[in-house]
Amino acid sequence: MKRHKNARMGSRKKVHAFVRVKPTDEFAHEMIKYGDDNKSIDIHLKKDTRRGVVNNQQTDWSFKLDGVLHDASQDLVYETVAKDVVAQALDGYNGTIMCYGQTGAGKTYTMTGATENYKHRGILPRALQQVFRMIEERPTHAITVRVSYLEIYNENLFDLLSTLPYVGPSVTPMTVVENPQGVFIKGLSVHLTSQEEDAFSLLFEGETNRIIASHTMNKNSSRSHCIFTIYMEAHSRTLSDEKYITSKINLVDLAGSERLGKSGSEGRVLKEATYINKSLSFLEQAIIALGDQKRDHIPFRQCKLTHALKDSLGGNCNMVLVTNIYGEAAQLEETLSSLRFASRMKLVTTEPAINEKYDAERMVKNLEKELTLLKQELAIHDSLTNRTFVTYDPMDEIQIAEINSQVRRYLDGTLDEIDIINLRQIQEVFNQFRVVLSQQEREVESALRRKYTLIDKNDFAAISAVQKAGLVDVDGHLVGEPDGQSFGLGVAPFSTKPGKKSKSKKTLKDQLSTSARKEGAGSPLSGKDLDAASTSKTQLVPSSRDGDVKDVLSRDRETSSIEPLPLDSPKEESRPPRPSTPPPKPVAFEDFKNERGSEINRIFKENKSILNERRKRASETTQRINAIKQEIDVTKEALNFQKSLREKQGEYENKGMMIIDEEEFLLILKLKDLKKQYRSEYQELRDLRAEIQYCQRLVDQCRHRLLMEFDIWYNESFIIPEDMQVALKLGGSIRPGMVPVNRLVSLGEDDQDKFSQLQQMVLPEGPDSISFYNAKVKTEQKHNYLKTMMGLQQTQRK
Ligand code: ADP
Ligand code: MG
């Protein structure tokens, strides 16, 4: 393919218009003059004074064209008009060559030529010749040639190459059809011609058909349009090129352009007359529209001619017009209108472009080829990296089953890892994960269904039905089905057991406040009392949330024992077993802190850390204060020294003002500043102390709560006999005891507390204040504890 032709693609191009003058002995030399460049033609009309034609009537016209062919041989005409168009068609550009002119001016002669004389053959046979000659010159391409020959007469389409004997219009009338690829004539036979000879014989057959038809159908052949089309398709012979090009050349022999009203109406000379052939006026309209850059709609569909030529007029075609004229004075009028048509055609611009298409089949073949190549490449790569076992083909069932089993083994832990082999295998591993997962889901569900009747939780009707039937309790638990929590009741380690029975903080508080109220605020029991008087939480406040069977049972029992039972009432068999010897309190306390007391322990710790932070800040502030104090002392001493020095040296006075030197002055300033600092630091320390006091109170409260609840828990879990618990219940005679204040203070005093006490020693008040402070703290702790209890009592009463 000649690439340089591509440069023309997309650039606009004018239609080439030529004039061919029919040889005559009566050439009107005074009226028709050619320019020196042989591209313009001037028409001069002598004023016809006899008929009194108006004076200002135009008598001179000048037409600028692409060439005037006067006495030109068929050979020269072809060279000038058609050769380039045909050559470019083989490169993928569509071409249209059209002959226009009045009947007898030489259109058919130009287009087809004298069929009986080889020398006088026209554009058509020459074009076919050139096409086949060029194909021979291009062994790199496989080019196919097809031809069709269409005649349009009175808006009817005739196939001049119909394989049937030409008897008239075919049974199914042909139609002009448009599709994205362009315009084509449905029903028109298109003939593959593998050589020049075939093409010629088809052409002659068509010409013969044309002549026969003009007689048998009484057609005026001058009124028909004939379109001979050469279709070409060029595929590169190298397989890698999946692109191919298509093109067509339309060779159009138009009907006579002569107009009505010319003959016998001399008075209407020079007036535009109507075409005898209507479709030519539509062609002219289309040409005018195509020549107008502002027009975007071109009326192609007004007649069969323009419709059939839609993609061959303007557009992406190389277009050439040959206007055939007489050179005789008698025909000047028609000559003038033919030249006008030619100059209008010259305004039309086209945008020739290659018709490139993709060969899908070839594309697939190329891709397959590339795939094979890449596979080979991979194989080489794999053998270099010792991965020769890897294949890249789609997996078969056996391989997929193997991956499935790998995934299963991986999931149950018998396989540590799944080796990565290639992308396909990774994808399959994930796929099998999904398969196994959904399989397991189904298995679990069906196992559940085998064992249980599953009811949709949102299906209230079904739920109430089973509730009525007594199958489930109010919480939706199946009656008789132990749940996880109560299942191991008897065997659970003692440290975890009580916590599980009651996780609710509210119930703890309730119990605490109840006890406090009943007990009264001022009479805490001793440690021993506490041990003896503790109560079982499990029995007192049954958990309504854990609606398992055993709870339901114990709840029932309790409901029936709201009234005090005789103390000796035997209850042993319903008690959960517990260790025969209670665990040491410190050990149990650790357990308690992690379980039932975890929340209060957390708050306790939090408050303590806040307290410690404040203490730390207080200590820092104290240190700063001490430092300032020291500096104040030093400055004071220095000032005193300065003063004594001044007194010794004698004082200066200026207008009643004491004069002091700079050093002394600066010391005074410094002292003032230090005093200011001291004051502000001391203020901060005071604030911090207040905060510390507040925090201390909170910490003490928490500690107390923690210890108290621990004791209750310890007693009810390990100490109090069954029968005693009854008496401890609401309305019972004995209330759970309180931890004595002295124990409270001594217990839980950890290293941090001791450290903070050490901190107090550096307070500016001096060592004397420590005992005072400690005493105060203890009093306050006691006071706070009582206050807390009172507060709790009050909230309980509300
Ligand atoms: P059209 O097709 O325009 O009606 P034709 O091509 O049939 O006209 O020409 C009419 C006659 O004039 C034919 O006999 C043709 O051979 C002859 N003729 C036309 N042009 C030439 C020419 N350039 N040289 C010789 N003969 C011509
Ligand atoms: Mg003709």
Q: Which helix (H) or strand (E) holds 61?
A: strand 60-64
The arithmetic mean of pLDDT across residues 290-299, rounded, is 86
CA of 25 from ligand 2 middle (Å) equals 21
Confidence of residue 746 (pLDDT cuts 50, 70, 90): very low
Closest ligand to Cα 115:
1
Question: Does the structure show a pLDDT above 90 at 466?
Answer: no
Q: What values do phi and psi take at 708, rounded to 5?
A: -65, -45
Question: Does the structure show a pLDDT above 90 at 105?
Answer: yes
CA of 107 from ligand 2 middle (Å) equals 5
Position 544 scores a pLDDT of 38
Closest ligand to Cα 225:
2
Least confidently predicted of 31-45, 70-84, 462-476, 707-721: 462-476
What CA–CA distance (Å, rounded) separates 735 from 741?
Answer: 18
Cα distances (Å, whole numbers) of residue 690 to 695, 753, 764: 9, 17, 16
Q: What is the pLDDT of residues 14-32, one digit of tens each?
A: 899 999 999 999 999 999 9
Position 362 scores a pLDDT of 80
CA of 23 from ligand 2 middle (Å) equals 16
Q: Which two tokens stand for residue 731?
A: 């309305």
- DSSP conformational letter for 313: S
Is there a contact between 257 and 130 (Cβ–Cβ < 8 Å)?
A: no
CA of 544 from ligand 2 middle (Å) equals 111
- From the CA of 324, give the closest atom in ligand 1: 3
Radius of gyration of the chain, Cα coordinates, nearest whole angstrom = 59
Closest ligand to Cα 103:
1
Question: Does the structure show a pLDDT above 60 at 341?
Answer: yes
- From the CA of 253, give the closest atom in ligand 1: 2
In 3-state terms the chain splits into helix, strand, coil percentages (rounded to 5) of 55, 15, 35
Question: Does the structure show a pLDDT above 50 at 545?
Answer: no
- From the CA of 102, give the closest atom in ligand 1: 3
Position 181 scores a pLDDT of 79
Closest ligand to Cα 256:
1
Token look-up 């219940």 returns 729
Position 430 scores a pLDDT of 93
Give the three-state DSSP class for 524: coil
- From the CA of 20, give the closest atom in ligand 1: 23
- From the CA of 111, give the closest atom in ligand 1: 6
What CA–CA distance (Å, rounded) separates 21 from 71?
Answer: 7
Token look-up 């029936």 returns 560
- Among the ranges 123-127, 380-384, 550-554, 660-664, which has the highest mean pLDDT value? 123-127
Question: Does the structure show a pLDDT above 80 at 650?
Answer: no
Confidence of residue 538 (pLDDT cuts 50, 70, 90): very low
Residue nearest to atom 10 of ligand 1 (CA): 104
Question: Does the structure show a pLDDT above 50 at 524?
Answer: no
CB atoms within 10 A of CB 137: 10
The arithmetic mean of pLDDT across residues 244-251, rounded, is 94
Paired sense of beta strands 225-236 and 349-350, if any:
unpaired
Residues 230, 232, 238, CA angle at the centre, nearest 5°?
165
Token look-up 């069977």 returns 549
Residue nearest to atom 25 of ligand 1 (CA): 23
Question: Does the structure show a pLDDT above 60 at 475?
Answer: no
CA of 112 from ligand 2 middle (Å) equals 9
What CA–CA distance (Å, rounded) separates 127 from 86?
Answer: 6
Least confidently predicted of 184-193, 296-305, 515-524: 515-524
Residues of the chain with pLDDT > 70, as a percent, come to: 69
CA of 339 from ligand 2 middle (Å) equals 18
- From the CA of 72, give the closest atom in ligand 1: 23
**Residues with Cβ within 6 A of ligand 1?**
22-23, 101, 103-109, 222, 256, 324
CA of 584 from ligand 2 middle (Å) equals 129
The arithmetic mean of pLDDT across residues 298-319, rounded, is 90
The arithmetic mean of pLDDT across residues 420-439, rounded, is 90
Is there a contact between 574 and 554 (Cβ–Cβ < 8 Å)?
A: yes
Q: What is the pLDDT of residues 607-643, one digit of tens each?
A: 888 889 999 999 999 999 999 999 999 989 988 888 8
What CA–CA distance (Å, rounded) separates 753 from 765?
Answer: 20
Q: Which helix (H) or strand (E) holds 248?
A: strand 243-253
What CA–CA distance (Å, rounded) separates 226 from 305?
Answer: 9
CA of 221 from ligand 1 middle (Å) equals 14
- From the CA of 103, give the closest atom in ligand 1: 4
- Could you tell me if residue 112 is left (phi over 0), alpha (psi between -120 and 50 degrees) or otherwise beta? alpha
Closest ligand to Cα 22:
1
395 class by beta-carbon count within 10 Å (0-12 exposed, 13-18 middle, 19+ buried): middle
Question: Does the structure show a pLDDT above 50 at 391?
Answer: yes
Residue nearest to atom 16 of ligand 1 (CA): 109
Question: Does the structure show a pLDDT above 60 at 266?
Answer: no
Position 721 scores a pLDDT of 66
Position 734 scores a pLDDT of 43
Confidence of residue 479 (pLDDT cuts 50, 70, 90): low
- From the CA of 110, give the closest atom in ligand 1: 6
Position 762 scores a pLDDT of 43
Least confidently predicted of 222-236, 630-644, 717-731: 717-731
Q: Which of 20, 21, 22, 277 to mutate to test the pocket of ligand 1 (most atoms within 8 A of CB)?
A: 22
CA of 30 from ligand 1 middle (Å) equals 24
Closest ligand to Cα 109:
1
- DSSP conformational letter for 720: S
Q: Which of 68, 98, 109, 258 to mutate to test the pocket of ligand 1 (most atoms within 8 A of CB)?
A: 109
Closest ligand to Cα 258:
1
Closest ligand to Cα 102:
1
**Mean pLDDT value across the chain:** 76
- From the CA of 222, give the closest atom in ligand 1: 4
What CA–CA distance (Å, rounded) separates 739 from 749?
Answer: 15
- From the CA of 101, give the closest atom in ligand 1: 3
What CA–CA distance (Å, rounded) separates 54 from 45?
Answer: 13
Paired sense of beta strands 16-22 and 67-70, if any:
parallel
- Amino acid code (one letter) for 368: E
Is there a contact between 213 and 169 (Cβ–Cβ < 8 Å)?
A: no
CA of 79 from ligand 1 middle (Å) equals 19
CA of 337 from ligand 1 middle (Å) equals 19
Residue nearest to atom 9 of ligand 1 (CA): 106
Residue nearest to atom 1 of ligand 1 (CA): 104
Position 164 scores a pLDDT of 58
What CA–CA distance (Å, rounded) separates 634 from 616?
Answer: 27
What CA–CA distance (Å, rounded) separates 84 from 134?
Answer: 12
Instruction: Tell me the residue length of the chain.
Output: 798
CA of 277 from ligand 2 middle (Å) equals 14
Position 603 scores a pLDDT of 85
CA of 320 from ligand 1 middle (Å) equals 19
Q: What is the pLDDT of residues 357-367, one digit of tens each?
A: 888 888 888 88
CA of 277 from ligand 1 middle (Å) equals 20
Cα distances (Å, whole numbers) of residue 41 to 63, 238, 259, 320, 648: 5, 50, 22, 18, 136
- From the CA of 99, give the closest atom in ligand 1: 3
Question: Does the structure show a pLDDT above 50 at 541?
Answer: no
Is there a contact between 125 and 203 (Cβ–Cβ < 8 Å)?
A: yes
Confidence of residue 420 (pLDDT cuts 50, 70, 90): confident
Confidence of residue 88 (pLDDT cuts 50, 70, 90): very high
Position 533 scores a pLDDT of 38
Question: Does the structure show a pLDDT above 70 at 556?
Answer: no
Least confidently predicted of 210-224, 254-268, 303-317, 631-645: 254-268
Confidence of residue 599 (pLDDT cuts 50, 70, 90): confident
The arithmetic mean of pLDDT across residues 491-504, rounded, is 39
Paired sense of beta strands 95-101 and 349-350, if any:
unpaired
Residue nearest to atom 19 of ligand 1 (CA): 106
CB atoms within 10 A of CB 670: 16
Position 570 scores a pLDDT of 42
Q: What is the pLDDT of residues 577-597, one digit of tens each?
A: 566 677 888 888 888 888 888
CA of 223 from ligand 1 middle (Å) equals 15
